[in-house]
Structure formats: structure tokens, C-alpha cells
Chain A
Amino acid sequence: MSERRGFSAAPLVGALSDAWNEIRVHRLRVLLSLIGIGVAVAALTAVVAIGEYQKQLTAEQSDRYGGRVATLTMNVGSSDGSPIDWAKLDAHVERVSERYSFSRTSRLVDGTVNSPVQMPEGVTPVLTRLYDADYAVIHRMTVIEGRTLQASDAELLAPPVVITEYMWELLGSVPLSARPTLTMTGDLAGTYPIVGVLPKEGVWDTNVRVDMLYDSYLARAGALPNEASVWREFWVPPEIVNDLAPVLAMDLRAGLDPSLELSLSRSDWASQPGYADSALVFQLVSGAIAGLVLLLGALSLVNVQLVAMRQRIREIGVRRSFGATSGRVFTSVLLENLVATTVAGVVGIMLVVLIMRSEWVVDAMFQGLQDTPPFPFGAALAGLIASVVVGALAGVIPALVALRVKVIDAIRF
């Protein structure tokens, strides 16, 4: 039998198997010292994951309100308070827009128009939102039933509408396959097929609102009410939005009635500095707490290992007398902690993944989240890195103690 010199995998394999045996023999001690690490890693992973889900939720909500990246919103007011001729303004904007060939653009009337709708308890004024078909795309609109409004809807004699989930519930949650309709009175008298239901943003969401195409409304009512105010949204590639906005604003202002004041600004979340900050603050604060737990876990691990080290000095002496180099002893003790914390970390991470993968938990924690993202890989990675780093830090101290063991003193009786 020969013992080769030069490179050999034996020392590494040997150190790993030493470490694993040590953990196996002292599993209770190891287990107790690792509970803290496992919990802390789980907390850290959960925090990162929750942050990711929160980000997704915020992004979804922001898209719904402010439009996707990048959305420019135009707002026009008259300086002398006289009513605005929206049709004339429209024609002007259309003319300017032709030069830009925007992929998506939509008018929007929100918060200023109410329609008399026949509700179970009688005719009620219901907030009515008007827009063009592109609005559904710009705002990543989703429905829980049916569909969103589309351009061809404007040609139908009976204008389709989309209503909020709460309103749908008030109307008896009639499945759309049964072709429910809304009835309106006054200028808007007639029936309106309900083609879509917008989801609640949470159990608390009791919005009652009807969405209708801008053109459908005009066709029925003839004109917008005086109090209506029309916005216009342009969906622009984010790379050029900063260059494009001032030029577009200038073009839109050119030839405009001097009594009108036009503003054009970004409304999507990415343009709002506060958005990223709040998500970051949440992650930083909870991350700091998890880090603290991790630190405490690491300290208790170091403590347990140092106490155990006293009993192990003789054992290390014996190993040294049978050919273990001090480097090998150092590596074994270090690896032992590394392997142990990594195992604890992986268990913690798997626990969090299992919990967070359950639809029920995610739905309860993030009401209104529509596209549940897959478990964020970054969160699992963060947890894994944390457990390895803690293992290395907590392992170095006992490993240094092991390094300093004097063999002849350790085996002297």
C-alpha cells in the first residue's frame, strides 16, 4: 500500500468527514446551539422575501394608479375658470401626437363624473371613470371576471362597462356568463352590459365605480359634464422619457389657447423617489433586527463551542499525536461550525419557502397581490450567505483555540 505525495483530495474529504462526525456525535449540543441560527436565518430570509412581495404589491398598485414605467400624464386647466372645450383640445393633442407615434395613449376622466345607476336600493349616483382602451394596458389592469374594455367596445350600441368587485357584490355577484347589465337613468338612460369585474385591493376595499370607454360615454351622453376634467396619458419607453418630456410639452403648448395652462409630468412609481425608499427602509429595519438575532445566535454558538473546546483539548492532542497537522485541526473545527450553521440555515430557509409558497399565507399577508411572484431567489441566497458567514465567524474563534492546543500538555495525565 502506498501513500502518495503531492496533491490529494484526502485531507479535504477527511476534514469534512471529521466535521460531520463531530456534529453527529454531539448532535444534541449542536442542535441546541443551532436553533438560534436557524431561526435567525429563517427570519432574515422571510424579511427579504416579504420585502420582495411588498415591492411587487406596491409596483402593482402603483401601476394601477400611476401607470407603468414610463407614463407621462398631461393635465390642462383654464386660468380664467371658463369651461374647456375638450373636443378641441383633443384634436390638438391628436395632431401633435401623430408626430410621435406613441404606442399607447389614453384620455382619462377620474373622480369628477357620476352617473345615475339603478342599484338594488334605488337610483344612486355612482362614480364613473372614463378612458380609452389603452388605459387598461398602461395600468396593467386585471379582472377577476370577464375582461377589460377594448377599443372595439366603442362601436357597440350598448356600451360595455367594467365595475368594481364590491359593486358587483352589491349587485348580487351575478356571473358574467349570465350577461348581467347595469341600468342608468337621465342623460345616460339605457342598459350597459357588464363585461368585467375589477378585483378588490383588499378586504377593506369598498369602492363602487363604473368604468366606461370615453367615446361610449360621449356617444350616450353627448357631452361631458361641466365639472369633468380630462387627463391624457402617454406610455413612453423609459430610456427616452427624460429627453422626450420637455419637447413634447413644448409641442403641446404651441398653438394652444393662451387661457389654458398645460402641465406634463411623469406619474409612474419609478419617477417617485419616495417609493424605493420606503421599501428599502422596511427591508433595512427588519433586516437589522434579523441581523441582531443572527448575531445573538452566533454568540451563543461561539459560547457553546468554546465551552465544548475545553473538553476537546485532549481529543485534539490525541488526534495530533496520530498525525493531524494543526492546519487540519483548524480546518475541521471551522468546517464543523460552517457545516452546522449551513445545515441550520438551509432548514430555516426551507421552512420559510414552504410557508411562503402556500397561497393562503401569501394571500393573507399581501391582500390584493395579483401576480404572486415565485419565491424570491435572492431571499434564499441572502439566508444561505448569512448562515455561511455566521458559521465562518463563529467557527474561527474555537478553531483558533484548537490551533493553540499544545499536544504534550493535552495528552499528559
Chain B
Amino acid sequence: MTESLVALRDVSKSVRLPDDSMLQILRGVDLEVAAGDHVSIVGRSGSGKTTLLNILGLLDAPTEGEVLVGGESTARLGAGALDRLRGRQVGFVFQQFNLLAGRSALDNVIVPLSYATGAYFWQRKQLATEMLERVGLGHRLTSTPDQLSGGEQQRVAIARALVRKPRLILADEPTGALDLDTGATIMSLLDEVAAESGAALVTITHDLHVAARARRHYRLDAGVLQVADLDRAFAASTLAGGEGLA
């Protein structure tokens, strides 16, 4: 394993619920993601996957434990510094695509670059165009999300996540809203472009086939992260005659 990109050290997260009780979402999570790594996390709904991903992506802060980026703790960074660090280092792919409505594919892919400086900012249009061409949408630059299919929207989202060359891609159930075939195509694309740019990829999924693409596999259960044995999971799912881990 090469240098550590982002690491969670004994991270716990709890939130206060409206009735004033505390809900513990994550418990003592340790995770290390190296540059170029490919990690999958499976777990049932409500097990804390999105919360874990948000902490990895510096969108959320742990209640206990630390998040290290490039070996340095982020605990003392201010809000603006965290935002800028996230903009440089992290690209998100969401289940619901989360494209900006009414904006063209090109405008959507430009978004991360508009928060950059230097060449990324000044050449944003050209870079976004190239990235859309890379995901096979060079002919749909001006299309708005409502003119695109689910698969095409997720391609735009992938282009957006990768256009600023982040070192970490966080994908939260990226195929969850797509049919099986489209989902498989999208996952191949995501793997490919992430590998091309040398970015680490952390994928959260229900789908064992999607999870199987990763090099390392984890499973989140009631807030506890464990290394997963995919073969056993496959066997279990075959026995249960169903898809996924539920």
C-alpha cells in the first residue's frame, strides 16, 4: 500500500434526536484509504454508510476520533479551509445524481472548476468539455438533466466528480437509481476513469456485483466497520435467492 490519502482513526458519530436522546450512528471506525485504492462498503439501509462517506469527504465531522488527510489531522482546520480542501481532493457521485436542474451538462460539470483557481478555473469550459467527451457525452453538452436518461445523468455526475482531478472519489450507491445493465456500464466507466486519473475510489453499494469490483471490501453493520468476505456474502445471497445483503 502506498501513501495514506485519507484515514479514519477510531471514528464515532452520534447525533441528538429531536426527543433529546442520542443516536450512535458510527462506532470506533478505523479505515485507511491509500492513493489509487479501490474500496467498497456494503451494509443495510440505515447502517451509517452515508454518514461514514460524509465524514470521509469532510462534509461531516466525527463526534470522536480523527480524520487525517495526507497524514495530517483535519480537526483544527476552519470551515473555509475544509471546503477548499474538499474541493481539491474529493469528488462525489450521488445515488440521485444531484445535477443542478435547468443547467446544461456542461454547466454542471463546470461547477467544481468554478471553485478552483488557476488553470482549472480559467480553462473550465474546455476541461469540462473534454471530461464530458471522455464519459461519452460530447454530443450532449447543452442538454439539461430532464433531457437525459438516468444513465446519462450519472455519466454527467461522474464527469463532474472527476473533472477537477480529485484524489478521492466517493460514490454513494451510484447505481442505486439505475437498472442492472445501465448500472453495470456506469460502474465500469467509474472504475475506468478513476483508474485513469489515479484517484482512489470508495463505493457504497447494496449490490454485491458492484462491490466485487473493488480491491478491498468492507461491511458496515450497526455502525461497526468490518472487513467483509464477499464469497460468503455471495453464497448467502444465493441461498436467500435474492440480491444484496439484506
Contacts and interface: CB of A to CB of B under 8 A. Distances in A.
Contacts of B77: none
Given A21-B107, A26-B102, A408-B54, A325 B117 contact: no
Contacts of B111: 318-319, 322
B242 interface: no
B87 A408 contact: no
Interface in B30-52: 50
A18 interface: yes
B50 A412 contact: yes
A156 interface: no
A81 interface: no
A25 interface: yes
B59 A408 contact: yes
B246 interface: no
A8 B79 CA distance: 19
B157 to A, nearest CB: 10
B80 A21 contact: no
A361 B212 CA distance: 79
Nearest to B173: A413
A325 B80 contact: yes
Nearest to A332: B114
B57 A321 contact: yes
A79 interface: no
Contacts of B121: 8, 10, 13-14
B99 to A, nearest CB: 8
B86 A3 contact: no
A326 interface: yes
Contacts of B164: 322-323
A324 interface: yes
Contact of B87 (A2, A25, A314, A323): A323
Interface in A8-54: 8, 10-11, 13-14, 17-18, 21, 25-26
Contacts of A322: 86-87, 91-92, 111-112, 115, 160, 164
A411 B98 contact: yes
B107 A323 contact: no
Contacts of A1: 118-120, 165
B88 interface: yes
Interface string B154-176: 00000010001100000000000
A4 B86 contact: no
B83 A4 contact: no
A324 to B, nearest CB: 5
B134 interface: no
A329 to B, nearest CB: 10
Interface centre among A3, A17, A21, A26, by most chain B C-beta atoms within 10 angstroms, is: A3
A242 B11 CA distance: 86
B118 A323 contact: no
B117 A18 contact: no
Interface in A65-84: none
A168 to B, nearest CB: 68
Nearest to A412: B50
Interface in A398-413: 407-408, 411-413
Per DSSP, chain A at the interface is helix
Contacts of B86: 321-323
A2 B118 contact: yes
B57 A2 contact: no
A11 to B, nearest CB: 8
Given A3-B88, A21-B107, A322-B111, A10 B116 contact: yes
Contact of A4 (B94, B103, B117): B117
Nearest to B60: A408
B100 interface: yes
Interface in A315-359: 315, 318-328
A326 B79 CA distance: 8
A17 B117 contact: no
Nearest to A1: B119
A3 B121 CA distance: 9
Interface in B137-165: 160, 164-165
B87 A10 contact: no
B4 interface: no
Given A14-B121, A323-B116, A408-B54, A413 B102 contact: no
Contacts of B112: 322-323
A327 B83 CA distance: 10
B84 A25 contact: no
A3 B83 contact: no
B59 A325 contact: no
Contacts of A11: 117
Nearest to A407: B59
Contacts of A2: 118-119
A25 B92 CA distance: 24
Interface of B: 50, 54, 57, 59-60, 79-80, 83-84, 86-88, 91-92, 94-96, 98, 100-103, 107, 111-112, 114-122, 160, 164-165
Given A1-B165, A315-B100, A413-B95, 14 more contacts: A1-B119, A1-B120, A4-B117, A4-B118, A25-B103, A315-B101, A322-B91, A322-B112, A322-B160, A323-B164, A324-B83, A326-B79, A411-B59, A413-B96
Counting from the closest, the 5 A-B pairs by CB-CB distance are A323-B87, A323-B115, A10-B121, A322-B112, A325-B83
